Amino acid sequence: MKTNWTLMAKIFAGEANQQELQDFENNKMTDMLRKNWNSVKKSEDKLQVDTDKAWAKLNNRLEQDQLIHEKQYAVRTMIPAALRIAAAVILLIGFSTLAYMLFTPTRQAVQMTARTLEDQKFGLTLPDGSTVDMNSNSRIKYKLQRSGIRMLTLEGEAFFEVNPDPNRPFIINAGDATIEVTGTSFSVRNDPGSERIEVFVESGNVQIYRSRKQDRKLSLKAGQLGVLDQNNLTEKSNPDLNHLSWKTRKLTFRETRLGDVAGVLNRTYSQNIRFTTTALEDCLFTGTFDQQPIDSVVLVIQVAFDLDLNRQGKAYEFSGEGCN
């Protein structure tokens, strides 16, 4: 079915008549477009946006990521002004590659790409109804095949809540690991430059195996952590208490080394916290934090160990005698 972009623009601009509304409701892309259109909130201040410049930047990004080809989609010429304005707003708030979902032809398998930058986290709903919360410096590529199989490639870290469908598996490729589910909630961590892949299950069941060899599969249940490291698959029943702290902003430390505390805080808040000596890193800290800003957490550590603190931008450096 050919997408009538002019009609869609009239619908979202509130200028369509009753017959046009009915035609639009029968379009397969209605729900997807409406969800993304409504997610762009109107600002009370009238933000002046150069839509041509923003659209050109968006189009260049999509071409660089090899998501579009000018001859195949002719995106700039085929999208009306109203949708170009929406794309410009999406671009400004950091969802430039996500906007590609709006432009995928309905006659093909649905595809989308999204990424986050440093200090940027966001959640999104996939075309199959599943949701993804992405940590900073992460990237996903999603494809809903015409057969119904849901395929996703992950670089970085993300938390998934997969819409249950026993007939349509949800398959994630992360480094050398393949994760397969039909409906559950879990997180996957695949840090760039690292061969270690971690899968933590919050609910349901998840299978993980080596992508090129399916000689062994781990079947993980809620509360279990599966790890693929240097071609070795292992599972743990008592994972790190702060495994999802980057998403929940809830932190729990029980006689934890300050060096390890710093690692958790850096991952949770995208900061650079360090200590001047290894003796300080070996001090043990106990405490809990719930939705606290990084400055509050840092202040508690400073007071608890009577430390000196030097801050430069995102870098926090502790010094002092500590627990000696």
For residue 254, the domain's CATH number is 3.55.50.30
What is the per-residue pLDDT across 10-54, written as a single tens digit (0 to 9) for each?
555 556 677 766 666 665 455 555 554 454 444 344 344 454 555
Q: Is residue 268 scored above 60 in pLDDT? A: yes
Rounding to the nearest 10 degrees, give the CA dihedral for residues 150, 106, 87, 191. 20
Residues 78 and 89 occupy one common structural domain: yes
Average pLDDT, stretch 122-151? 90
Residues 92 and 143 occupy one common structural domain: no
Domain boundary among 108, 127, 159: 108
Residue 268: name the closest of 298, 245, 239 by CA.
Answer: 245
Q: In this structure, what DSSP letter does residue 107 have?
A: T
What is the per-residue pLDDT across 280-295, written as a single tens digit (0 to 9) for each?
999 999 999 999 999 9
Q: How many domains does the chain have?
A: 3
Query: CA 319, CA 202: separation in Å to the nearest integer?
Result: 38
Domain boundary among 222, 239, 256: 239
Residues 216 and 189 occupy one common structural domain: yes
Q: Structure pTM? A: 0.64
Residues 256 and 229 occupy one common structural domain: no
Asked, for residue 324, whether it belongs to a domain, the answer is: no
Full residue range of the structural domain in which residue 283 is found = 245-319
**Cβ count near 105 (within 10 Å):** 14
